Chain A
Amino acid sequence: MQGPLIESLARQGVSRRTFSKYCATLASMMALSPVAGQAMASALAAAPAATRRPSVIWLPFQECTGCTESITRSHSPTIEGMIFDMVSLDYQETLMAAAGFQAEEALHTAMKENQGKYLLIVDGSVPLALEGAYSCIAGRTNLELLKEASRGAAAIVAMGSCAAFGGLPHANPNPTGAVAVSDIIKDRPIVNVPGCPPIPVVMTGVLAHFITFGSLPELDALGRPKAFYGETIHDRCYRRPFYDQGKFAKTFDDEGARNGWCLFELGCKGPVTYNSCATTKWNAGTSWPVESGHGCLGCSEPDFWDAGGFYRALSVPAGPLQMVGAAAAVGVATGAAVSFLNRAKKRAAKAGHETTTLADLEK
């Protein structure tokens, strides 16, 4: 792929107009200024594919390949897929043709040639237990690989909830001692793109931002791009009016469910989940979990697996109230003990009572 990006896009049947529209959409989706759309378009279009294509290295750790599956659903032939092609993806185990020694060779060559400039994408958590033996690639632990690869990275994208927050492997009791990328790497800019998996356009959006501006987008307190994780699912949910009216589906097949009422009582975690599923939707804008009739699991939030159960409403206890029985027994026992003390005090007062006689008063 030689020449500027825009030419290679034209060869693939993407018009300049479509490309501009994509950039404007992406810019507006990320809440950038209108000028940013143009800047993004010119930066991407001018990127001479052969010389300046940013190198991207994608390291898979303790993961399920769901994030890779998701990014490949970046509904081709629209432009998201194209942009992804336009970076130089030098190492991605699932997508690359090379395997074994060749794959390792590609990784090390890319790291050497793009020292300090490549974008490191990590999906999966990093196991620390048993000295990291739970997950190894080419005989080396994930921890070792991450430390080595991060040294030459311009920035790191922690793709998916496992890399961002530890995700599923980090769930109680966390047998592998899984941690997030940000728990290990402290000296490189990290952007967290959580989700199980993240929305394809969110992944490509972050990459496009990096390519255009050479920097990471504005992040929230959890290191997530504000453009995509700025609002809760609940706030953007099309079923929100039913919540406000107090109309809830009680089961997955009752009248409320058929009428498309709010899924809060069925355990929807939309109110505490920051993600853009409700606006960008999934599968080329076809639908998204709540639209398909299932509550939000809260997959882009830390420890979503341990947040009290997927089917328990947010307003109900996350765990059993085990102390109530014992507390009641102790309460009654304490009350009884205190009442005995009180009665003893009363008796003592009665016994110690001195009657006053007329003679006493006349003294």
Chain B
Amino acid sequence: MNEMQLLTWVRGPGLNLAVGIFVLGVLWRLFEIYSLGRKKDLSAPRALPGASGWRTIFRRTLPAEGMLKKAPVTYIAGAIFHIGLAIVVFLFAPHIKLIQSLFGISWPALPSQFIDLVTIVTLVAMLVLLADRIMNPVKRFLSTFEDWFTWTLTFLPVLTGWLAVRHLLLPYTTMLALHILCVELLLVFLPFTKLFHAFTVFGSRWFIGAINGHKGVAV
């Protein structure tokens, strides 16, 4: 298989397979999680549970009091890499083109040079987080295989995409094929690892906020 055949495979059958597993996994997990249900709380709510849920969705985006000083790397690098990832994934012209071909919607792209800068910042932030995970004894102790694995799954698409655009290391065709392949691996594993937080984070925040609001805890 030469690089052009690899590229055609990852753009065709490979993508088909990866998106298939992704959709299957996401629907399975969402169905499973939300069908678990919760025991009905018979007590009278002390505050508005729904409002508290929405408030928590927003509040937990910001660090809790004093936490920023205690874990600055986690918060700052974490925020930078999440925002960077969103910009790179959703505002790079070829990515928008893909979204448009799949869902028919599109929006203006940012200039490639700006995306390039954001990509570098994102990569650096992710490397800092990895270093912190390795150096910080508590984080290292708490880390499991899944943490290292999901970091790699997230890092590789960004790295290969950047290398492809910059024409580094390997010929563009090969690097582009590897980039798409890495994204496909991410799609395949996302529903079955902690990366599924992309789908559940706001839902679970709402639940926590609602439960706390019911109990009258201001969060």
| Bound-state Cα–Cα, A320 to B16, Å | 7
Rounded to whole Å, the gap between the CB of A355 and the closest CB of chain B is 17
Whether A319 pairs with B94 at a CB distance below 8 angstroms is: no
Instruction: List 19 additional A-B contacts (Cβ < 8 Å) besides A328-B27, A335-B32.
Output: A243-B112, A246-B93, A246-B110, A314-B94, A314-B176, A321-B19, A322-B16, A324-B19, A326-B20, A327-B23, A328-B24, A330-B24, A331-B25, A331-B31, A332-B28, A334-B28, A335-B27, A342-B32, A342-B35
Chain B positions within 8 Å of A331 at CB level = 23-28, 31
Q: Taking A272-B172, A302-B5 as contacts, is the C-beta distance between A315 and B94 under 8 angstroms?
A: yes
A313 on interface, CB distance cutoff 8 Å: yes
Rounded to whole Å, the gap between the CB of A128 and the closest CB of chain B is 19
Chain A positions within 8 Å of B15 at CB level = 317-319, 321
Rounded to whole Å, the gap between the CB of A301 and the closest CB of chain B is 5
A25 on interface, CB distance cutoff 8 Å: no
Q: Taking A272-B172, A303-B8, A328-B27 as contacts, is the C-beta distance between A339 and B112 under 8 angstroms?
A: no
Q: What mask results when residues 291 to 327 of chain A are scored 1 for a CB within 8 Å of chain B, else 0?
A: 0000000100111101110001111111111111011
Whether A307 pairs with B27 at a CB distance below 8 angstroms is: no
Query: Which 8 residue pairs spanning A and B have beta carbons closest together?
Result: A335-B31, A323-B20, A331-B27, A339-B35, A315-B94, A318-B11, A318-B12, A316-B101
Q: Taking A315-B98, A335-B30, A339-B36 as contacts, is the C-beta distance between A323 and B8 under 8 angstroms?
A: no
Rounded to whole Å, the gap between the CB of A303 and the closest CB of chain B is 6
Whether B19 pairs with A323 at a CB distance below 8 angstroms is: yes
Whether A271 pairs with B176 at a CB distance below 8 angstroms is: yes
Query: Please, which residue of chain A has its CB at the minimum distance from the CB of B93?
Result: A246
Chain B positions within 8 Å of A312 at CB level = 101
Chain B positions within 8 Å of A286 at CB level = none
Query: Please, which residue of chain B has its CB at the minimum distance from the CB of A265?
Result: B97
By a beta-carbon cutoff of 8 Å, the part of chain A in contact with chain B is 222, 232, 234-235, 243-246, 248, 264-265, 271-272, 274, 298, 301-304, 306-308, 312-324, 326-328, 330-332, 334-336, 338-339, 342-343
B201 on interface, CB distance cutoff 8 Å: no
Whether B97 pairs with A317 at a CB distance below 8 angstroms is: no
Rounded to whole Å, the gap between the CB of A247 and the closest CB of chain B is 9
Question: For chain B residues 9-52, which have a beta carbon within 8 Å of chain A?
Answer: 11-13, 15-17, 19-32, 35-36
Whether A323 pairs with B31 at a CB distance below 8 angstroms is: no
Chain A positions within 8 Å of B112 at CB level = 243-246
Query: Please, which residue of chain A has its CB at the minimum distance from the CB of B173?
Result: A272
Chain B positions within 8 Å of A327 at CB level = 19-24
B111 on interface, CB distance cutoff 8 Å: yes
Chain B positions within 8 Å of A308 at CB level = 8, 11-12
Query: Please, which residue of chain B has its CB at the minimum distance from the CB of A319?
Result: B12
Residue from B2, B23, B28, B101 in contact with A324 in the complex, judged by beta carbons closer than 8 Å: B23
Query: Please, which residue of chain B has its CB at the minimum distance from the CB of A262?
Result: B93
Whether B95 pairs with A315 at a CB distance below 8 angstroms is: yes
| Bound-state Cα–Cα, A98 to B21, Å | 62
| B contacts with A, residue count (CB < 8 A) | 45
Rounded to whole Å, the gap between the CB of A233 and the closest CB of chain B is 11
| Bound-state Cα–Cα, A3 to B50, Å | 98
Rounded to whole Å, the gap between the CB of B4 and the closest CB of chain A is 5
| Bound-state Cα–Cα, A243 to B111, Å | 9
Residue from B5, B113, B171, B172 in contact with A303 in the complex, judged by beta carbons closer than 8 Å: B5
| Bound-state Cα–Cα, A336 to B20, Å | 18
Chain A positions within 8 Å of B173 at CB level = 272, 301
Chain B positions within 8 Å of A315 at CB level = 94-95, 97-98
B109 on interface, CB distance cutoff 8 Å: yes
Whether A246 pairs with B109 at a CB distance below 8 angstroms is: yes
| Bound-state Cα–Cα, A306 to B94, Å | 21
Chain B positions within 8 Å of A339 at CB level = 31-32, 35-36
B167 on interface, CB distance cutoff 8 Å: yes
Chain B positions within 8 Å of A304 at CB level = 4
A-B pairs with beta carbons under 8 Å apart, 9 shown:
A243-B112, A302-B5, A331-B25, A332-B28, A334-B31, A335-B27, A335-B29, A335-B35, A339-B36
Residue from A232, A319, A332 in contact with B27 in the complex, judged by beta carbons closer than 8 Å: A332
Chain A positions within 8 Å of B102 at CB level = 316-317, 321
Whether A316 pairs with B24 at a CB distance below 8 angstroms is: no
Question: For chain B residues 140-169, which have a beta carbon within 8 Å of chain A?
Answer: 167
Whether B4 pairs with A317 at a CB distance below 8 angstroms is: no
Rounded to whole Å, the gap between the CB of A308 and the closest CB of chain B is 6
Chain A positions within 8 Å of B27 at CB level = 328, 331-332, 335
Whether B12 pairs with A317 at a CB distance below 8 angstroms is: yes
Chain A positions within 8 Å of B176 at CB level = 271-272, 314
